[in-house]
Amino acid sequence: TVSVATSKLGGTIKFKTVFPGNYILSQLTAPEGYIKDNKNYNIFIDRNYILFNNLSNSFVIKNTKKEDN
């Protein structure tokens, strides 16, 4: 199953129903003026929390601002 979400102002997305399991999080497009993150992030979700790099309940993709020419 593939789910796609568009972030709101401030960059936050939420999925209402996520079942326990392993997921891959990818950024499809970056905000205007920013460079797209091309990495795929492996995320494990159990019944109670999200686990990514041993940090629970949150995940952040930080975009790099494009340089002005």
The label of the residue with tokens 């601002």 reads 65
Predicted local confidence at residue 62, as pLDDT: 79
Q: Which helix (H) or strand (E) holds 53?
A: none
pLDDT value of residue 10: 73
Torsion sign across C-alpha atoms 61, 29, 41, 12? positive
Residue 2 clears pLDDT 70, i.e. is over it: yes
Model confidence pLDDT, tens digit, residues 16-67: 777 888 888 888 888 889 898 899 888 877 776 655 555 556 677 778 899 8
26 or 8, higher pLDDT? 26
The letter for the amino acid at 10 is: G
**Chain centroid offset of residue 27 CA:** 7
